Amino acid sequence: MHEILDRLPPGSRVLDLGSQGGSFNASDYPELVSIAVDIISPSDSFSLRPRGPFHFVRADASFLPFGSRTFDAIVLNHSLEHFERLKPALQEIGRVVRPDGAIYVAVPDAATFSDRLYRKVFRGRGGHVNLFASGPELAETLSWYFGLPLVGSRTLCASLTFLNRKARDPGPGSRRIPFSRLPEPLLLCLTALLRVADCRFGTRLSVYGWALYFGNLKQRVESTVRPNICVRCGQAHPADWLLRIGAAQRRRWLLPRYKCPACGASNFFTPDQLSPDQFTEDHDPPTAA
Ligand SMILES: [Zn+2]
């Protein structure tokens, strides 16, 4: 989403919809007007406290209390899969975004191990109610509702953070998980095994889903797959950046590790991977910066 946020002019309005605690730290973008919207109020849960100077509005995504063409950018970060009334919500998003605006979407691929496991664990507990099995079909549908072309995409990897005992409470439903979640070292080993299996056998066990970019994007989206997703906080970090800042440590006989710059958790380090982009043929070239 930072490909969009980084290039917005000062004063731009950003809607972070279904954001829980905020999809990004609004303190990093003090020149933007960031509005977080969720059906659950921040006062209902510690995990929903907005990060940074967000304006919070409690509202249903299918009845957004904003005028038409209000927002320069909309962030839908792991939220579409939770919307009970998806089509009215998509209509509302298409209504409130500006015709020259941009939209970021991150959703799970319903065919993946990660999403199947999530739906099993959170069944009846506020889990995923919308299943997306085809990235290209989803992109076409969203483009139609938003009135904006698809201009970029990336495959997202899973970290199974929702199973981590040390992870921040991921939402009200997590309190009703019928087990106390897993120790972080065990989860680290599991995610490493999934990545190794993908590399060796061409499986998609460590894949989460897709990031899709629509509309006025002034920065090209790298289709590189970034497997370094923190097992505790869920943040993705480019491998070359982790090496550049010295967070990654190569060890001679052991698997290389990195310390998450966001939360300090120790993770296994994996090089970024080039991946065939299933959306590439549909992309319009990004607008010149
Ligand atoms: Zn982290």
The 10s digit of each residue's pLDDT in 66-118 is 999 999 999 999 899 888 899 999 999 999 999 999 999 999 998 898 888 88
Q: Do the domain assignments include residue 287? A: no
Q: What is the average per-residue pLDDT within 13-25?
A: 84
Q: How far is the CA of 235 from the centre of ligand 1 (A)?
A: 6
What is the SS3 string spanning 147-170?
CCCEEEEEEEECCCHHHECCCCCC
Spatial CA neighbour of 224 closest among 158, 151, 152, 282: 152
Reply yes or no on whether the pLDDT at 163 is more than 60: yes
Q: Do the domain assignments include residue 225? A: yes
Q: How far is the CA of 225 from the centre of ligand 1 (A)?
A: 18
Q: How far is the CA of 259 from the centre of ligand 1 (A)?
A: 8
Please tell me the predicted confidence (pLDDT) of residue 161: 85
Least confident of 30-44, 169-183, 202-216, 220-234: 169-183
d(CA 120, CA 105) in angstroms, rounded, equals 23
Domain span at 181: 2-282
Q: How far is the CA of 241 from the centre of ligand 1 (A)?
A: 15
d(CA 236, CA 12) in angstroms, rounded, equals 25
Q: What is the average per-residue pLDDT within 44-66?
A: 74
Q: Do the domain assignments include residue 93? A: yes
Q: Do the domain assignments include residue 158? A: yes
Task: Kindly report the average pLDDT of the chain as a whole number.
Answer: 83
What is the SS3 string spanning the chain?
CHHHHCCCCCCCEEEEECCCCCCCCHHHCCCCEEEEEECCCHHHCHHHCCCCCCEEEECCCCCCCCCCCCEEEEEEECCHHHCCCHHHHHHHHHHHEEEEEEEEEEEECCCCHHHHHHHHHCCCCCCCCCCCCCHHHHHHHHHHHHCCCEEEEEEEECCCHHHECCCCCCCHHHHHCCCCCECHHHHHHHHHHHHHHHHHHCCCCCEEEEEEEEECCCCCCCCCECCCECCCCCCECCHHHHHHCCCEECCCCCCCEEECCCCCCEEECCCCECCCCCCHHHCCCCCCC
What band does 279 get if pLDDT is binned at 50, 70 and 90?
low
**Between residues 252 and 134, the one the model is more confident about:** 134
Q: Do the domain assignments include residue 289? A: no
Q: What is the average per-residue pLDDT within 50-75?
A: 87
Q: Do the domain assignments include residue 111? A: yes
Q: How far is the CA of 199 from the centre of ligand 1 (A)?
A: 23
Q: How far is the CA of 232 from the centre of ligand 1 (A)?
A: 5
What band does 280 get if pLDDT is binned at 50, 70 and 90?
low
Q: How far is the CA of 228 from the centre of ligand 1 (A)?
A: 10
Number of domains, the chain: 1
Q: How far is the CA of 183 from the centre of ligand 1 (A)?
A: 15
Q: Do the domain assignments include residue 122? A: yes
pTM for this entry: 0.84
Q: What is the average per-residue pLDDT within 245-260?
A: 80
Q: Do the domain assignments include residue 288? A: no
Q: How far is the CA of 267 from the centre of ligand 1 (A)?
A: 8
Residue 178 is part of a domain; what is its CATH number?
Answer: 3.40.50.150
